[in-house]
Amino acid sequence: MAKDKRASAKQRMPKKKCCEDKPRCKRCPLRALAEGNLPDGYTVKKRRLVKLEKADAVLAKSTRKAA
């Protein structure tokens, strides 16, 4: 029974932000994108894991400049 819990816990969500280390860590969103393991409804924009419906807002917010 303990093995069943570990098997389901093994598939974790990717991190919210890439730490930019080389080699890529196991939970890196960029690695998950390349391997095709991203959860449904998610994508990666500017090294951040975002939901598809909010992807444009994240991209617009991150390109703003301070006055």
Record the pTM: 0.62
Q: Is the dihedral of CA 65, 46, 19, 17 positive or negative?
A: positive
Cβ neighbourhood burial of 14 (10 Å; 0-12, 13-18, 19+): buried
DSSP-assigned states of every residue in 3-33: HHHHHHHHSPPPPSB----SSPPTT-HHHHH
Q: What is the pLDDT of residues 23-64, one digit of tens each?
A: 888 888 888 889 898 889 999 888 888 888 887 776 666 666
Q: Say yes or no to pLDDT of 20 above 60.
A: yes
